[in-house]
Structure 1
Amino acid sequence: MASPIAGIQQFPVKKPSFFQRVKRNLDLHKHSYILMAPYFILFFLFTILPVLISIGISFTYFNMLEFPRWVGWDNYARLFLEDDVFLISLKNTILFAAITGPVSYVACFVFAWLINEFPPKIRAFMTLIFFAPSISGNIYFIWLIIFSGDTYGYANGFLMKIGLVYEPIQWLQDPKYVLAIVMLVQLWLSLGTSFLAFIAGLQTIDRTLYEAAAIDGIRNRWQELWYITLPSMKPQLLFGAVIQITTSFAVADVSMALAGFPSVQYAAHTIVTHLIDYGTIRFEMGYASSIATILFIIMMTTNLVTQKLLRKVGE
């Protein structure tokens, strides 16, 4: 039997435009937008606007004394064609982020997952132990003692005692070791905000989901992790990824505290230390803004890729 509407010509429904959707949302949720307006205003003034101004300044020559002078793409051409130190810092930063970012992210989740199984009092104590390094003050002196270049350094003393070396190694003055040591210290410090976010996310998972999953055929902890735990924690996973990306690409304090500024042969030089050099020492603000813009593009690209990967969790 033919459909009664088979002979009726159907026209495609016109989708509302972007501005129409915005207007409709404003009409439906105007009270919510009014309540959020103070935050949006402050966020625009102190986050979005400075970023836009920095991008604009990156196309100028600006030394803080004279009015900015337009130079176009000269700063970017200088970065990639003339500034060998920037290329070294770019390589170091990418290598640093590629290693410490994923390792610290996975470590934060694994430790949070394991600690979450303890009773409340033990869980609170273990959380404090793991989180303490990230909130301590100037703790780099501990690692300066460990990797001291004389026989009193713990690393040298241990290696000389067991006979692996016969004279002290200049750990923080040798380009072969500096970046690896900075990565090690950064990993030690990485159990911070992301770790707490994962602990909080694990605490909010509805326990009845695991009971229902057991009835549906999930039989081991790994299946529970992939199909229940991780999908239930997607907001915390995304937040932790953003924090870890920012931390791994914006490393500077650890490098300067351990390897000096600048480090020997720029072995631990990063994009942020290069930015500090031109922004706060040389006051070449246009050039420093171009460095910041490149870092911003790298971080945003990495963040978008990470978001796409996290959407596949639990599929």
Structure 2
Amino acid sequence: MRLLRIVPDNTRFKFVWFRRFSYPISAAYSILVLALFLTVGLNFGIDFKGGTLIEMQAKSGKIEIAQVRQTANALGFGEAEVQEFGDGTELSMRFPLQAGGEAAQQGVVTKARDAFASTYEFRRVETVGPRVSGELVQAGALGVVLAIMGVLIYLWFRFEMPLAIGAILGTLHDIVLTMGFFLITQLEFNLTSIAAILTIVGYSLNETVVVFDRTRELLRRYKTMPIPELLDLSVNSTLSRTAMTATTTFLSLLALVIFGGSAIEGFALVMLFGVVVCTYSAMFVSTPVLLYMDVRGQGQREEAREKTLAGAKPKAG
């Protein structure tokens, strides 16, 4: 019985050559991300901004967004953000942070229930005060920074210096592109988004390590092969595994996007984008970076150092 192969055997795709396109595209995208971050900013969710989030479903018939928005604004808590989602019978209302602490936030929920309880069923209610939202911002930012630093330190000790630099650049590249997804789509950025970013960092690390392990192995096996050919060989030899991993992960996440519901849709969308970015990065960004570094020279120096240390050991007997 013949096994299914997503990628044909003996594939010889010129991945390194495509850096002429991948690098300008990634550079332009990164500049766009920086510009959007400075001008538009992230669409912070209630976890970070504070305030009150209410999700409701109509008890019968379709919802009337204009009427709901008018009633919500008339409650006197500032301009409410009202959005429809789902099958046309569900909506979310977001009220800004109120002065007066937790009691003021609870007052928003009480008045909203009085105004909408007769025609809408309350499905989800979240209130976050200013102190809690500030603590969440600090804890979330600290968690992301520490996790990224830990990954970068691991990469630095996992590979020789040129390979470590390439892996670090690839990981940072994937983080920047993922943040760009939030900025362009204005998808709500909340605690779930931080979990998605950390998961993408792990996926990016996995993809890069697989390719670079093969690169290191080929450097020791083919000591005279030109570096561009060797890098293409390292990606092509792991392409079947990369394609299988990316395809199965992509299909799983696509199912979550379609059938997972609104609670997990944001996370699944970010992860879906992250899988594409990490796969692209490992093949067209991280690996070609090694062209500009002394990969073979560093490897030979490490090998010579190992032989010297082995020869210096006293012989038994």
TM-score norm. by structure 1 comes to 0.24
Q: What TM-score does the superposition give when structure 2 sets the normalisation length?
A: 0.24
Structure with bigger strand share is: 2
